Structure 1
Amino acid sequence: MTDDIDQARAAAIAPLAFYDSIPSYRRIPACRAHTAPSTWQLIGDEATVATPRGGPDGT
């Protein structure tokens, strides 16, 4: 959890970049509304992280 969302997203980009080279992981953004591995992270303050996200069952 963090209040500095921009810094946390920037910090996640480089360590997760290797996923772009794995075919099975490249298909994930194609199937969902994610454009890059760094968007797969749940980053935010306590209220943001506690908010339910849309999963396969819509919850």
Structure 2
Amino acid sequence: MFGAAGAEIWPCAFWASEPTEPACGPMAGDPSNVLMAQNLRDRETPLSGARQVR
């Protein structure tokens, strides 16, 4: 839809910023059969986060 403009990593992806909401984790009563999609090279979905949640 946006061509090359949508394929670029914009500088704002690397700006340091505080989260707008606190992080949340699994709660008692949540289903245990959940698919977690994590990645080795994406800093937004680090593999270490999946291992900690597991």
Shared fold per TM-score greater than 0.5: no
Q: Which has the greater radius of gyration?
A: 2
More helix by share: 1
Higher normalized contact order (CA 8 Å, seq sep 6+, divided by chain length): 1
